[in-house]
Chains A and B, each alone.
Chain A
Amino acid sequence: MKLDVRGEICPYPMMRTVDALGKLPPNEELEVLTDHAPALATIPWEASKRGYAVDVEKVRSGEWKLTLRKAQSPLDPMAVVQEISQKTNIGG
């Protein structure tokens, strides 16, 4: 499933992702396209609380694609965000 939240600013990218996760058929991935940098912190955080692993990829200047997949085992949100912040520049 794909979700395009470009043009949306906080808190909508996160809220709409959470909504979409609720409707996501089992064994499917959710691809979220966003151009709002703060969402790179809020979406993985909410996703990992719900047991989804997140992959972030920078598409172009100011645009990112997040891929959310149900994880096999319960996730440690801390480890997930740690991993993402290593791949992008959102670390603090």
Chain B
Amino acid sequence: MGLGMGFALQRGRLCFAASFRDLFVNGRGELLRAVLLGLIVATTAFAALMARMVPDPSTGELAPKIHVWPLGANVLIGGLLFGVGMVLAGGCISGTLWRIGEGYLGSLVALGGILLGLEGAALSWNWWWENSMSKAPLIWLPHSLGHMGAWISVMAVLAVLYLLTYWWEARRAGPEVRFPGQPQPPLVTFQDRLRALWNRLFVQAWPASAAAVALSLLNVTAFAFDHPLGVTGELSAWSSRTFGLLGLYPGHLEGLDQFAGCNLVDAPPGLLTNTFMLDVGLVFGAFAASVMASEFKIRVPRQPVRYLQSAMGGTLMGYGSGIALGCTIGAFFSAIPSLGLNGWLFGLGLLGGAFVGSQIIRRLA
């Protein structure tokens, strides 16, 4: 699963950070549209699966393991911090993982920051739980709108946002440029056709929208078997283990057993869990993809300020995803299809954070 994720993300260069940041840096909405398309696919499949799990949502029952949690201020603030962090570090948490696979040393620094931030979040989690999350309302749309109503509403909003990106682009970005495929040599034999397929899959870059759809199909598969995708919970276990060695074990975290999501982990489970395989697989999937396309290279940032930027961005992302129960995957890409409102609140935070982050990086050029 992780291998597939890493492969798809690297091939499509699907970067959640860029999808929000480009709106403010150069006014383009192409990547955000890819993300929205992925959400449309995942929301439809999630809605169908959840309708089978909970035939009558009006009873107040919640589908198991979906990424729905209370609408606390922690979700919005976490999204804001995450948004600033991902723009500073040049990639969100999954983006950092797949860039490590491509050979970016700066992303390793960002990963260190993420672990540090997650530890900070774990240490302050009980405060956030006490003052925000335990008091906030939990809204799962099917409770009030039914499965069909919830699905239609979310689809309508996603469609409007999709169109809004075109409007934004027309206003901000200037002429739209398309990337048509390469002119193909004539395919005569069976071997020619196989080679063309191989090139399309492994050598040429994928359109970002194809990667987004591949990612959401993986997400749906993961949910059908057990739980939606998320990469941060595992990193939090690493963080807790690392800092535990230094005697900075965060202690018991309140309330987390009530929700599924990329929760902070207070009692590290065994090392080789399936989430461990997911994160490590993501790095190796991206590595394999970049080697096959001969794009792998050890890349070293030359300006010292970039290391600082990666470390600070990583720390902000780690803290933000810690208090908001997930990153762009767990708290956004898995949460919106779960039909809760928390995914939207986090997304709003990401948008605001990306705006602030874009202003900061302009000054660090």
Q: Which A residues form the contact surface with B (CB < 8 A)? A: 4, 6-12, 14-16, 19, 35-38, 41-42, 45-46, 48-49, 60-63, 77-78, 80-82, 85-86, 89-92
Contact = CB atoms under 8 A, between A and B. Distances in A.
Given A7-B301, A11-B26, A77 B175 contact: yes
A49 to B, nearest CB: 6
17 contacts: A7-B302, A8-B303, A9-B90, A10-B90, A11-B25, A11-B361, A42-B26, A45-B177, A61-B296, A62-B297, A63-B297, A77-B177, A81-B178, A86-B183, A89-B205, A91-B180, A92-B205
Question: Would you call the interface of chain B mostly helix, strand, loop, or mixed?
Answer: loop
Interface string B100-112: 0011101000000
B40 to A, nearest CB: 19
Interface string B213-256: 00000000000000000000000000000000000000000000
Contacts of A62: 102-103, 290, 294-297, 299
B106 to A, nearest CB: 7
A36 B90 CA distance: 12
A6 B179 contact: no
Contact of B104 (A9, A16, A78): A9
Interface range for B:
35 or more
A66 to B, nearest CB: 15
A72 B306 CA distance: 37
Contacts of A45: 177
A61 B205 contact: no
Given A7-B300, A14-B26, A61-B294, A78 B99 contact: no
B352 interface: no
The 10 A-B pairs of least Cβ separation, nearest first, read: A62-B297, A92-B207, A9-B90, A61-B294, A7-B301, A92-B179, A89-B204, A62-B295, A91-B181, A81-B177
B28 to A, nearest CB: 8
Contacts of B174: 49
B347 to A, nearest CB: 21
A12 B274 CA distance: 36
B293 interface: yes
Contact of B299 (A4, A35, A89): A35
